[in-house]
Structure 1
Amino acid sequence: MKTLYHTHNVLPHQCSSTLVQTIDAPLARVWSFVRRFNEPQGYKQLIKSCIMHDGDGGVGSVREVTVKSGLPAERSIERLDMLDDDMHVMVFSIIGGDHRLSNYQSTLTVHQEDGGGKTVVIESYVVDIPDGNSKEETCWFINTIVRCNLKSLAEIAEGRVRRR
């Protein structure tokens, strides 16, 4: 697997984690949802809406996502750093918003499972630990959101729920 993409240089004031989701759907179907930088609400159920500020969803594009109520933020501004349709890799950074996540970068890779029609999605991130929070608290919070997104991706790609 492409674990090379999930190797982060983590500084002492940062935390990082890697999460894995196996999906019972072909890689092409899973990637078709993941690669849409301009439509993250297609599978990320915590996102209410997305407005593109720059670009059309390609590398260098900037989006502003509005999150659903209940989270400690309303919006996040994000830039697409890498999108490789051949290697199935997406990297994005959070560059603004009304939250406490600084220097956040997420890497997501999609892999065909050997010998079957299943797909493995790996998402890793690195982020600064906000003042007043511990490494464990920060990772727990972000891991919860990433797990929710990966679970939702699986449900939609497997056809267990209709696209929102």
Structure 2
Amino acid sequence: MPYNRPSKELQRHPKTGAMKNQYHTLQLSSNQCGSSLVQTIDAPLPLVWSIIRRFDNPQAYKLFVKSCKLRSGNGGIGSVREVMVVSGLPAATSTERLDKLDDECHVMMISIIGGDHRLVNYRSTTTLHEISEEGKNWGKTEVVESYVVDVLAGSSKEDTCCFANMIIGCNLRSLARITEKMAKFHFEKLQTELATQTIFICLEIVEDIIEAQIQTSPETGSIGGWDVGVEWGA
């Protein structure tokens, strides 16, 4: 009878479903379209969130961003940034506002309010959700990013979504690659530090044992109760 190895169970937070319904249920007008994309990342949520929440540094993982400068604010809610887009895309700049940044629930909302590009009335919502996996040293993170945008002039809803999905999908895959490498590096570094600390602790224990055992008698030359055959003063 063949043995089927049990699969590792993934456990999502009980509030994940409610959060998705709250933040990713799209309200579209007749001239708008939108979609939701999901990326599962093999890295702990705090690490992934630390990269995403940096409104002033989207180029840390967004491949099509050449540079970014804050026009107002300090990176908190209400801040406005000017993003320079890499060549090759039908855009040059994008002016974006941070509408929501919730460090407790891990929610980020951004609106495009200007710039030289084709995405009119673009609004995005990104949420992070922790996934626990049995036998793993750290949990996984599920990133959900949804958006609403006006249909591009001269294009269909399908073409508009295809264009936006391509950009977001590339960004999410880039985020996954970067944070997974960071998680692996930090874990290996931690393992090395723990191994080093364990060695030092073991050495200290051995030294204490030797010091306790070596009790030399001036008359017999015994060490730890063992006669070493030396008579002092002979």
TM-score by length of 2: 0.67
Q: Which residue number in structure 1 is paired with residue 76 of structure 2? A: 58
In structure 2, runs of 5+ residues without a counterpart are: 1-15, 183-234
User: Is 1:101 equivalent to 2:119 in the alignment?
Assistant: yes
Deviation, 1:115, is: 3.4
Q: Which residue number in structure 2 is paired with residue 156 of structure 1? A: 178
Structure with greater proportional strand content: 1
Q: Tell me, in whole angstroms, the C-alpha distance in 2 between the residues paired with 1:67 and 1:100.
A: 12
SS of the residue aligned with 2:166?
A: helix
Aligned residue among 79, 90, 95 for 2:108: 90
Q: Which residue number in structure 1 is paired with residue 207 of structure 2? A: none
Counting matched residue pairs gives 160
Q: Which residue number in structure 2 is paired with residue 147 of structure 1? A: 169
Using CA pairs below 8 Å that are at least 6 residues apart, which structure has the higher relative contact order? 1
**1:129-157, CA deviations, whole angstroms, 9 ceiling, x for partnerless residues?**
02211000000000000000000000010
User: Is 1:78 equivalent to 2:96 in the alignment?
Assistant: yes
User: Is 1:124 equivalent to 2:146 in the alignment?
Assistant: yes
Letter in 2 for 1:144: M
Q: Percent identity?
A: 60
Letter in 2 for 1:20: V
Q: Tell me, in whole angstroms, the C-alpha distance in 1 between the residues paired with 2:120 and 2:75.
A: 22
Q: Which residue number in structure 1 is paired with residue 155 of structure 2? A: 133
Q: Which residue number in structure 1 is paired with residue 63 of structure 2? A: 45
Q: Which residue number in structure 1 is paired with residue 232 of structure 2? A: none
Q: Tell me, in whole angstroms, the C-alpha distance in 2 between the residues paired with 1:104 and 1:41.
A: 19
Runs ≥4 in structure 1, deviation > 6 angstroms?
A: none
Instruction: Give the number of the structure whose alpha-carbon radius of gyration is greater.
Output: 2
Letter in 2 for 1:79: R
TM-score by length of 1: 0.95
Q: How big is the alpha-carbon RMSD for the aligned residues of Structure 1 and Structure 2?
A: 1.0
Structure with greater proportional helix content: 2
SS of the residue aligned with 2:48?
A: helix
**1:35-86, CA deviations, whole angstroms, 9 ceiling, x for partnerless residues?**
0000000111110100100001100000010011110011100000000000
**1:72-102, CA deviations, whole angstroms, 9 ceiling, x for partnerless residues?**
0111000000000000000000000111111
Deviation, 1:114, is: 3.6
